[in-house]
Amino acid sequence: MPDGGGKPFVQIEGLKRHFDVSPPWLVRLLEGSGRQIVQAVDGIDIDIAKGETFSLVGESGCGKSTVARLVVGLYAPTAGRIAFDGSDIALRRGRAHDAALRRRLQMIFQDPYASLNPRWRVFDIIAEPIRAFGLAAGKADLEKQVGDLLRQVRLTPADGRKYPHEFSGGQRQRISIARALASRPEFLVCDEPTSALDVSVQAQILNLMMDLQRRFGLTYLFISHNLAVVYHISTRVGVMYLGRLVEQAPTDTLFGRPKHPYTRMLLDTIPDLDMTGRRRVPVAGEVPSPIDPPSGCSFHPRCPFANERCTVERPQLLPVEGGAVACHAIEEGRLAIEQRSYANSR
């Protein structure tokens, strides 16, 4: 869904990131063992349009946080390309150009306790991006900007004099958001921004993020393992399993007509708070090690619909119903697509 017929705002193509986790050379030599490579992200394609929220979901170890780090440039991709508003972020084109690009994309981290410098006052934490990118005309302007940012996240300018330890988890996450907004970015990568928070605080942060998106026309890449949160905040959703995208679709399609067996499994495991009597189906098995992923479709050892083809041939992501799914059973029509509804009874 590109914006206005042009290119997508953020375009990820064939993105791969492998990590070498081999034992040291001497150990390998003595034990006769080979190199061990974790294929954390193994070829994914995502287009994100301006102003939308694209969410990545999956269980731990599926590579979603690695994608987040690749997109903001904390890791260099092993292969593939990430284009932000038309320019490749991995390409170095001189300091000024890189800084201009970096100003426009920022990240919000999961742990608000670890991502703020405990020795800095909140004012300095938020002022740092403004100073670094030279966005303030003098001291008075800097103070005004930081004050405005604090107000936007519903703190007060007086809070700038305090240290991070004086704030609760939710307030710290507001400070992280203010810092991310300080360089006036257009694209925010949010890696599990509410996972460390209590539910009532989570609601505050999600509401704040949606308000800010409307106000500043922000684009979000939202990483989460919580499907209910993703359902609430996203325009489109991608489901990751072992470093690959197994399904992506607009939110209502994904939750209303899930296609990939893994997506269905994830949806079945959401606790039923509405007490509709829907049974949570425990699924056998766990996510296999990404060092030695299963052959063919990596989900086949846990999949009730797997046949011989699934064990040998890796399925490609094929377009279905406004989204895309990588599953042989869906492609061959062996697996019917069912309509799901979640009773609105509460």
Contacts to another protein by CB under 8 A: 59-60, 154, 168-171, 198-204, 206-207, 210, 225-229, 231-232, 255, 265-276, 280-284, 286-287, 342-346
Nearer of residues 168 and 307 to another protein, judged by Cβ: 168
Min separation Cβ 59 and another protein, Å:
4
- Cβ burial 295-312 (10 Å sphere, 16+ → b, else e): ebbbbbbbbeebeebbee
Nearer of residues 169 and 294 to another protein, judged by Cβ: 169
Please answer whether residues 188 and 180 qualify as being in contact, where contact means their C-beta atoms are separated by less than 8 angstroms: yes
Q: Which of 88, 89, 12 is nearest to 43 (CA)?
A: 12
Please answer whether residues 179 and 107 qualify as being in contact, where contact means their C-beta atoms are separated by less than 8 angstroms: no
Which tokens go with 87?
Answer: 């320019």
CA dihedral 239, 247, 42, 22 (to 10 degrees): 50
Min separation Cβ 258 and another protein, Å:
11
Nearer of residues 80 and 294 to another protein, judged by Cβ: 294
Nearer of residues 284 and 336 to another protein, judged by Cβ: 284
Nearer of residues 105 and 108 to another protein, judged by Cβ: 108
Which amino acid is located at 47 in the chain? D
Distance, CA of 226 to CA of 248 (rounded, Å): 16
Min separation Cβ 340 and another protein, Å:
9
Nearer of residues 33 and 276 to another protein, judged by Cβ: 276
Nearer of residues 227 and 325 to another protein, judged by Cβ: 227
Distance, CA of 181 to CA of 217 (rounded, Å): 12
Which tokens go with 311?
Answer: 């064990």
Min separation Cβ 46 and another protein, Å:
22
Nearer of residues 78 and 195 to another protein, judged by Cβ: 195
Give the H/E segment covering residue 56: strand 53-57
Nearer of residues 60 and 339 to another protein, judged by Cβ: 60
Distance, CA of 31 to CA of 47 (rounded, Å): 44
Min separation Cβ 5 and another protein, Å:
29
**Around Cβ 43, how many Cβ atoms within 10 Å?**
16
- In the chain, the largest separation of any two C-alpha atoms, in whole Å, equals 69
Q: Length of the chain, please? A: 346
Distance, CA of 16 to CA of 225 (rounded, Å): 21
Min separation Cβ 77 and another protein, Å:
26
Min separation Cβ 186 and another protein, Å:
23
Residue 329, SS3? helix
Min separation Cβ 100 and another protein, Å:
34
DSSP H helical ranges for 106-165 = 122-132, 139-152
- Helices (H) and strands (E) counted in the chain, each on its own, are 12, 12
Which tokens go with 165?
Answer: 């330890």
Please answer whether residues 82 and 48 qualify as being in contact, where contact means their C-beta atoms are separated by less than 8 angstroms: no
Min separation Cβ 280 and another protein, Å:
5
